[in-house]
A and B are shown apart, each in its own frame.
Chain A
Amino acid sequence: MKIALIFFIIQYTNFKFKDIKGKEIEIDTLLEKGPVILDFWATWCNYCDEVLDILKEIKEEYKEKINIVALSWDTPKTSSKIEPLSRSRGWEFLIGIDEGKKIGKSYGVIFLPTLFIITKEKGIVYKKVGYNPKEKEEIKKVLEEILKEK
């Protein structure tokens, strides 16, 4: 039983996506460098942009120690706002489109925003559904524990 528990980790699904400049990126490659925050959002979703503002602050604090990936559920029509929005809000992390919501589905995402923190060793270590302006502290707490173990 103990051995079963050791092996039973919440795995992540490796995937590739295209960022807003059309470059293809694989999540496994990012995980080699450190923990990844994966956020599912959309331009039309209430408060999703506020979560990305929080992630911007976290990226400024942790810099190269973490990677942030924000995958949008926008359609080709509504996705026109993604790049201009990211420029004007200063979101200096990877932003892409989850075409057909495939990646989100494989992560069991139903509601937006949904955020995961993933590590190579332990898989998904944190999941948050919805928005709260105070969630920055929660995320930082998890990141500190992960980086301490490294």
Chain B
Amino acid sequence: MKLIFLFVIGQFNFSGNLFYDFWKLKYEKFTPSGIKKVYGERYFANISLFPKFYFLEGDFEIRYINSPKEIEFIYGENIEKIFRKNIKISKENFEIEFFDIYKSFGKGILAGFVRDENILLERFLRGFSSNLKIGIIDFGFTYGRPYEYLYYSRNSFKDTLDEFKITEVKINPLPGIEFGLYHSFYDQNIFFEPDKKRAEFLGYVIDLKSGILTIYEEYSRRKGIDKEIPSDTLPYSFSKGFANYTQIIFSIKEFTISGEYEKYKKYSTPYSYPPCIHPYGISLSNGRDEEGYALNFLFPLYFFDFDLNFSKSFYKDKKIEEEKLNLRAPIFSFLFNFTFDNSYLKGAEIKEEFKPVEKRKERSFKGKIDYSFELMTLSFGIEARKREDLIYDTLYKYTEPYYEFEIFHKSGSLSISYSKDKKKRDYYSFEKILQLPKNIELSFFYGKQRGELKCSGGICRYEPPFEGFKAKIIYSF
């Protein structure tokens, strides 16, 4: 009995992460004598556990945040405590996962059309997601609904997500060939409206891969409520829209050319944005009407790897155009990385210090040189960005420099950066990361960072400014 018990215990294992983040930061506080800059403290503790026992897998997360009320909205998280629990059962060709916070709304087949990886949670959503594979066919079904209302939003007047459902079928007749069909809906509670409103989606995906040619095509139709769609009469009228995204890649040896085309018509939703072909990741119209294309060339020449990109999005008289060249060359112990970027925006949804930018011309250069010694690697980076912004009929021209120096060693890294903005304000940072045994990482940061748009993976987010000190510990096991 003891042996059996011990054997059973031995089949149980878990991994996870412990994360603790402490900030001492400067922020603005309303006082009886006016707005003052004061120092405050913010704590963020997070434990994630992933236990496994045969066909059962768990995903548990406990999070605790404590921060001054004045900065809650700036840094986007103001729930004091979260306890999230997901349980998954997988057995051969079937799996089902029960969740109580749905962090990834939408499935892979929907690409970016009905998915927002970082959905803002207005409610805790309870539900399940299941998948069954029979031969060459994959069936998927996801359902969720809220069970407890929590105030969790930057905007207290924002509408909230209610019940949702996603059904999908994928067929994989041969390696490199995949077809998919999906249907989904979500309900939205509209602020000040008595009834829920529904948005419904129907679409297909075609994914073909051969040796030299890859074709990816996605089409989706939407009908129903979409608050972002302006209407001639009522703001929440019944409306229809569609989105189409096509990508073709042609590749021979090291030479690759790829083309993308997208078109959206009345397709925006508060919970997802279609994939953008330009780095700003923003709409040219509130109703998400947009058309665009991009061309990308990837090829080696002498020591360099060339990555050349042209993209253009447009809607009526609005547009975003960009040309970008990235060069990368490892030569002996050096690694060179240069990027030249030229872009033009007109009528895009960007703001500078809360003022709308009607037109922007931007040219930037980024250069990075790494040199590796036996025990360490030194990295020096420089960036210069030249901008011309037209705001309320006034043209603002400015150049912003940025310098960065990093040292990498097997025990960690040290990085120092300096930059100036258009008002000649200084920004600086010192960051030390220590990588200790047993997957423990300690990091310390001191400095002043500006608020700016940061783009990654086709999604752009605004990162707020920060001034102060941060200490972080991450333990992965």
Question: Interface on A for B, CB 8 Å cutoff?
Answer: 3-4, 6-11, 13, 18, 20-24, 42-45, 53, 74-78, 80-81, 83-85, 87-89, 99-101, 105-108, 110-111, 114, 124, 127-130, 132-135, 137-138
Expressed in whole angstroms, the Cα–Cα distance for A18 and B108 within the complex equals 14
Known interface pairs A80-B247, A87-B253; A108-B17 also in contact (CB < 8 Å): yes
Residue of B nearest to A44 (CB): B457
Tell me which residues across on chain B come within 8 A of A89, comparing CB atoms: 305
Tell me which residues across on chain A come within 8 A of B174, comparing CB atoms: 22
> A50 to nearest B CB, angstroms?
8
Interface presence of B237 (CB below 8 A) = no
> B244 to nearest A CB, angstroms?
13
Tell me which residues across on chain A come within 8 A of B11, comparing CB atoms: 7, 11
Interface presence of B52 (CB below 8 A) = yes
Interface presence of B67 (CB below 8 A) = no
21 A/B residue pairs, CB under 8 Å, sorted by A: A4-B9, A11-B13, A21-B211, A23-B176, A43-B457, A76-B216, A77-B112, A80-B249, A80-B260, A83-B251, A83-B256, A84-B251, A88-B299, A88-B305, A99-B108, A132-B409, A132-B412, A133-B372, A134-B375, A134-B377, A134-B408
Expressed in whole angstroms, the Cα–Cα distance for A18 and B209 within the complex equals 12
Judge whether B305 and A106 touch: CB under 8 Å.
Answer: no
Most chain A CB atoms below 10 A, which of B50, B260, B300: B50
Expressed in whole angstroms, the Cα–Cα distance for A82 and B412 within the complex equals 28
Expressed in whole angstroms, the Cα–Cα distance for A132 and B209 within the complex equals 34
Question: Interface on B for A, CB 8 Å cutoff?
Answer: 3, 6-7, 9-11, 13-17, 48, 50, 52, 57, 59, 88, 104, 107-108, 111-112, 174-178, 205, 207, 209, 211, 214, 216, 218, 245, 247, 249, 251, 253-254, 256, 258, 260, 275, 296, 298-300, 305, 330, 370, 372, 375-377, 408-410, 412-413, 433, 435, 439, 441, 456-458, 474, 476-477
> B127 to nearest A CB, angstroms?
15
Judge whether B218 and A75 touch: CB under 8 Å.
Answer: no
Which of A8, A74, A128 is the one whose CB lies under 8 Å from B457?
A74
> B350 to nearest A CB, angstroms?
21
> A66 to nearest B CB, angstroms?
21
Most chain B CB atoms below 10 A, which of A8, A80, A135: A80
Which of A53, A74, A84, A134 is the one whose CB lies under 8 Å from B410?
A134
Tell me which residues across on chain B come within 8 A of A107, comparing CB atoms: 15, 50
Expressed in whole angstroms, the Cα–Cα distance for A140 and B432 within the complex equals 26
Tell me which residues across on chain A come within 8 A of B296, comparing CB atoms: 80-81
Apart from the given pairs A80-B214, A133-B408, 4 other A-B contacts in the complex at a CB distance below 8 Å: A107-B50, A108-B14, A108-B476, A130-B435
Tell me which residues across on chain B come within 8 A of A80, comparing CB atoms: 214, 216, 247, 249, 258, 260, 296
Judge whether A8 and B256 touch: CB under 8 Å.
Answer: no
Which of A21, A81, A100 is the one whose CB lies under 8 Å from B104?
A100
Q: What 9 A-B pairs have minimum CB-CB distances, sorted nearest first?
A: A7-B10, A22-B176, A108-B15, A84-B256, A44-B457, A134-B410, A77-B275, A108-B50, A22-B175
> B337 to nearest A CB, angstroms?
10
Tell me which residues across on chain B come within 8 A of A110, comparing CB atoms: 17, 48, 476
Known interface pairs A42-B457, A77-B275; A3-B175 also in contact (CB < 8 Å): no
> A26 to nearest B CB, angstroms?
12
Residue of B nearest to A89 (CB): B305
Tell me which residues across on chain B come within 8 A of A100, comparing CB atoms: 104, 107-108
Most chain B CB atoms below 10 A, which of A100, A105, A108: A108
Tell me which residues across on chain A come within 8 A of B457, comparing CB atoms: 42-44, 74-75, 78
Judge whether B439 and A129 touch: CB under 8 Å.
Answer: yes
Most chain A CB atoms below 10 A, which of B256, B260, B305, B376: B256
Tell me which residues across on chain A come within 8 A of B216, comparing CB atoms: 76, 80
> B87 to nearest A CB, angstroms?
13
Known interface pairs A4-B9, A105-B50, A132-B435; A10-B251 also in contact (CB < 8 Å): no
Tell me which residues across on chain B come within 8 A of A3, comparing CB atoms: 3, 6
Judge whether B474 and A106 touch: CB under 8 Å.
Answer: no
Judge whether B409 and A106 touch: CB under 8 Å.
Answer: no
Judge whether A10 and B13 touch: CB under 8 Å.
Answer: yes
Expressed in whole angstroms, the Cα–Cα distance for A68 and B256 within the complex equals 24
Judge whether A76 and B435 touch: CB under 8 Å.
Answer: no
Residue of B nearest to A53 (CB): B330
Expressed in whole angstroms, the Cα–Cα distance for A4 and B6 within the complex equals 5
> A145 to nearest B CB, angstroms?
16
Judge whether A75 and B59 touch: CB under 8 Å.
Answer: no
Tell me which residues across on chain B come within 8 A of A24, comparing CB atoms: 175
Tell me which residues across on chain A come within 8 A of B175, comparing CB atoms: 18, 21-24
Expressed in whole angstroms, the Cα–Cα distance for A88 and B298 within the complex equals 8
Tell me which residues across on chain B come within 8 A of A7, comparing CB atoms: 6-7, 9-11
Judge whether A8 and B10 touch: CB under 8 Å.
Answer: yes
Judge whether A88 and B52 touch: CB under 8 Å.
Answer: no
Tell me which residues across on chain A come within 8 A of B408, comparing CB atoms: 132-134
Expressed in whole angstroms, the Cα–Cα distance for A74 and B177 within the complex equals 19
> B33 to nearest A CB, angstroms?
44
> B459 to nearest A CB, angstroms?
9
Judge whether B176 and A21 touch: CB under 8 Å.
Answer: yes
Judge whether B10 and A13 touch: CB under 8 Å.
Answer: no
Judge whether B456 and A44 touch: CB under 8 Å.
Answer: yes
Which of A44, A76, A130 is the one whose CB lies under 8 Å from B218?
A76
Residue of A nearest to B12 (CB): A8
Known interface pairs A3-B3, A20-B209, A108-B17; A78-B458 also in contact (CB < 8 Å): yes
